[in-house]
Chain A
Amino acid sequence: MKSTKTLRVMDTVITHVILVAVCFVFLFPCLWLILASFSKSGSIYSFDGFFPSEYSLDTFKMLFTDTDMYNYPRWFRNTLFIASMSCLIGTFLVILTAYTMSRFQFRGRKTIMKTTLVLGMFPSFMGMIAVYIIMTQFGLINKMWGLILIYSSGAPMGYLTQKGFFDTIPGSIDEAARIDGATNFQVFLKINLPISMPIIVYTALTSFVFPWSDFILPKLLLKEKDLYTVAVGLMSLGETEFARFAAGSVFIAVPIVILYFCLMRFLVDGMTAGAVKG
């Protein structure tokens, strides 16, 4: 009895040691970035080793007030709009696609599955030429909706993960509901959607994060400085604007962290293990 107890204590200790190490690895670079953004001198080379020697809030003040050349608040609003819209539409499409692919047996299903897999192998930047021309032909350059359109329509390509999730939900519940006379749409809406919270949250998070930090497409399609997203804007900073860069980078991470903590509940407890097969 005693030995199992020591074993358990040992186990707990080792687990925590590993966790601390892992967290340190993840935290350290972030901490470095955060502290750098609070550095008093704008230059990164006046640091003592890893961290700045003096701190102040000036950079953040500058980020939001000195907007003549670098209009960070505006970039932020643009990014927020594009990312939220793409996230909403994209998540909706992905979940529906994945659900359908998981639940329905129809002609061409396996073909679609294989095709989407293969399509992902193409180097995407080669297709940028075509995307740019398509957008010029549709008159969608310098339009935020153009960007949202591309992000959301590209999203279903990544349905495989979500399909994997739906595959693990037993079909017996569906059957029962269908016997009660529900249509497929109702089955999806009333039964599957509520128990799919974790994967929906995961999907929402990823489809928010991608537009949030992408710079290739916005750079390609948004030419006007007023339409810049944060990523494009940060990249257009002059070479000595390091502190501004760091502050902008830190601030861009804030919504994702908030989002994470808000959605955490769903992510982790969204579904108790028993609900599936019980």
Chain B
Amino acid sequence: MRKKGYRLLAGLLCIGLLSGCGGNAGGNDGKGSGGNSAGTDTQNAQTGDGAAADLSNIYTGELERNVTIRVLENDTAIEQGYFQELIDAFNEAYAEYGIVAVDANMDQYSNLADDGPYGYGPDVLYQANDVLMKYVDGKHIYPIPVQNLECYAQIPDRAWEAYRREIDGTTYYMAVPVNVQTSMLYYRKDLLPENWETEWDDNGNGIPDMVESWSAMYRFSKLRMEEKEGQYGYMRSMYDVYFSSSFLFSYGGYVFGNNNTDPSDLGFSAGDSWMGASVLLQQASLMNEGCIDDTITVNAYSKLADGTYFATMTTPDVYTLFLKELILAYQGQGMSEEEARALAEENLVMTKVPMLPASADLTEENPELIPLKTMGGVNGYGISAYTKAPNACLAFVEFATSYDMIMRRCELLGIAPARSDVASQRGGTSEMIYQSLEEGNVVLMPSITEVDQIWTPAQSFFSDLAKDAFREPGERKYDDPDKLKAGLTQVDTQIYDAIFTLSGN
């Protein structure tokens, strides 16, 4: 769900990679419904040879009866009990057809291309857009006639874009968006200076400046560091491409050209993206060495709770983890569980990310501000091309993306919905994220296969960049704009090489 690429690369979870190895390895040969593969769930042979624009050769419109559809959900939804509610409600509604939805009982990151062709995959899958869209090349998932779905009008075009693919002149939608993921700022309200309303709210809008602008955050971090040794302001592991590349995007960088579809045009060094890198470098100078590796990513939960850090940036789905740690910390100070919970909910704030100075100089007084364009993803439901019951699957997807179910999902999981009606009804973070998506401040992860190959080169650069803040002055590698530019160009070259050097004949 959350940034698979990032997770795969996160050192601690490298197992994902290895299994991905086996998995991927197995999978990529598994793609396609092998004619002689044993026990294959080949779809109930629609042998229509016409163009599939209307998809009626896949979805006959007639619900299959007495079928079981296996649904792959994400772990949080299962853990919080949402998924059970969903399938219970669905099974009740479709009891007359004998359609039963069950948990696929598989790893949430499992690869359909590995399992599907051999008959081991789920029928419906909930995954991130970069993952789902990878299945399109081998036609492992069916396109969905989204225009007929109730949710179609409610979901903004920017979210649909993540699942749109043009094949042979026809436009297809491959999945239905449910949830928008992007970076949020987490901070502790009770760690704000007592006089923030007078000293740290220049525009007088009732929101502290440090959570509105990275320049103020920089000043505040510096203040906190000087105040007490071992105490920090904003902290974030820099190697993490998912978060760090946001700063490049804000100054004109991008991943792939032509709206993230052309892998031959790499854009990490495009525009003034070096300015983003210099912002990162300035931020790193106010952190400790933990920003070079994954230390801060992992310890932010407890360090925010014990007051060592003031703020961090991560995705909204981990809110409960931060909350849990903070409650524990308050309890440790002698509060009762209820008091602690109430106080923690009051003091832990998740909000949209601050603005950047257009000059990229965090020390500039009263800078002109531009928005931070964060990297994001859209999770949604896709339908496996190896299902025996495409119509029932479609019914499930429609059911699961209905207003009521999405609303319930928001309530239980605190996600940011892709549906505008739910977002505006829920307000708060959900609406905030929805709006940044609408305003174009969320840059969606590319939905092409080559996105797999950007992570390691970019991650190596960011970790080198973070390390630079801790090198002796004479040994710095990135102490002027030209060197930053060269570094970013090197990233582009590496990715280009990774994608093309060996594939071209």
Q: Do A and B come from one complex?
A: yes
The chain A residues found within 8 Å of chain B, CB to CB, are 41, 43-46, 68-69, 125, 128-129, 132-133, 136-139, 141-142, 215-217, 219-220, 223-226, 232, 235-236, 238-240
Whether the pair A45, B303 counts as a contact (CB closer than 8 A) is yes
A69-B75, A223-B115, A239-B12 are known; give 8 further A-B pairs, CB within 8 A: A128-B21, A128-B26, A132-B25, A132-B114, A133-B30, A216-B21, A217-B22, A219-B15
Whether the pair A137, B302 counts as a contact (CB closer than 8 A) is no
B120 touches which of A217, A223, A232 (Cβ 8 Å): A223
A125 to B19, CA, bound (A): 11
- Near A by CB (< 8 A), chain B positions 11-35 give 12-13, 15-16, 18-19, 21-23, 25-26, 28-30
Closest to B40 in A: A136
B30 touches which of A136, A215, A240 (Cβ 8 Å): A136
The chain B residues found within 8 Å of chain A, CB to CB, are 10, 12-13, 15-16, 18-19, 21-23, 25-26, 28-30, 37-39, 75, 78-79, 105-107, 110, 114-115, 118, 120, 298-299, 301-303, 306, 321, 325, 328
Residues of A within 8 A of B299 (CB): 43-45
A235 to B22, CA, bound (A): 14
Closest to A46 in B: B302
Known: A128-B22, A132-B30. A46 touches B306 (CB 8 A): yes
Residues of B within 8 A of A46 (CB): 302, 306
A137 to B26, CA, bound (A): 13
Whether the pair A219, B19 counts as a contact (CB closer than 8 A) is yes
Residues of A within 8 A of B15 (CB): 215, 219, 235
How many Å from the CB of B280 to the closest CB on chain A?
23
Residues of B within 8 A of A129 (CB): 25-26, 28-29
How many Å from the CB of B80 to the closest CB on chain A?
10
Whether the pair A139, B38 counts as a contact (CB closer than 8 A) is yes
Q: List 10 A-B contacts (CB under 8 A).
A: A43-B302, A69-B75, A69-B78, A69-B79, A132-B25, A142-B120, A220-B19, A225-B107, A235-B13, A239-B298
Whether the pair B302, A141 counts as a contact (CB closer than 8 A) is no
3 A-B pairs closest in CB distance: A132-B26, A220-B22, A219-B19
Per DSSP, chain A at the interface is helix
Residues of A within 8 A of B25 (CB): 125, 128-129, 132
Residues of B within 8 A of A141 (CB): 118, 120
Whether the pair B39, A139 counts as a contact (CB closer than 8 A) is yes
How many Å from the CB of A272 to the closest CB on chain B?
45
Whether the pair A133, B26 counts as a contact (CB closer than 8 A) is yes
Closest to A43 in B: B302
How many Å from the CB of B4 to the closest CB on chain A?
13
Closest to A238 in B: B75
Residues of B within 8 A of A68 (CB): 79
Closest to A129 in B: B25
Known: A43-B301, A129-B29. A223 touches B106 (CB 8 A): yes
A43 to B118, CA, bound (A): 40
Closest to A141 in B: B120
Whether the pair A45, B38 counts as a contact (CB closer than 8 A) is no
A220 to B111, CA, bound (A): 11
A225 touches which of B10, B19, B105 (Cβ 8 Å): B105
Whether the pair B26, A220 counts as a contact (CB closer than 8 A) is yes
B37 touches which of A137, A223, A226, A240 (Cβ 8 Å): A137
A142 to B21, CA, bound (A): 18
Known: A129-B29, A137-B37, A223-B120. A45 touches B302 (CB 8 A): yes
Residues of A within 8 A of B22 (CB): 125, 128, 132, 216-217, 219-220
How many Å from the CB of B463 to the closest CB on chain A?
18
Residues of A within 8 A of B12 (CB): 239
Residues of A within 8 A of B105 (CB): 224-226
Residues of B within 8 A of A44 (CB): 298-299
How many Å from the CB of A58 to the closest CB on chain B?
12
A235 to B28, CA, bound (A): 23
A125 to B107, CA, bound (A): 21
How many Å from the CB of A174 to the closest CB on chain B?
44
Residues of B within 8 A of A219 (CB): 15, 18-19, 22-23
Whether the pair A240, B106 counts as a contact (CB closer than 8 A) is no
Residues of A within 8 A of B23 (CB): 219-220
Whether the pair A43, B21 counts as a contact (CB closer than 8 A) is no
Residues of B within 8 A of A132 (CB): 22, 25-26, 29-30, 114
Whether the pair B118, A136 counts as a contact (CB closer than 8 A) is yes
A201 to B118, CA, bound (A): 40
A235 to B12, CA, bound (A): 9
How many Å from the CB of A233 to the closest CB on chain B?
10
A133 to B15, CA, bound (A): 22
A132 to B37, CA, bound (A): 12
A30 to B447, CA, bound (A): 43
A225 to B30, CA, bound (A): 21
Residues of B within 8 A of A69 (CB): 75, 78-79
Residues of A within 8 A of B306 (CB): 46
Residues of B within 8 A of A215 (CB): 15, 18-19
Residues of A within 8 A of B321 (CB): 240
Residues of A within 8 A of B29 (CB): 129, 132-133
A117 to B28, CA, bound (A): 30
Residues of A within 8 A of B298 (CB): 44-45, 239
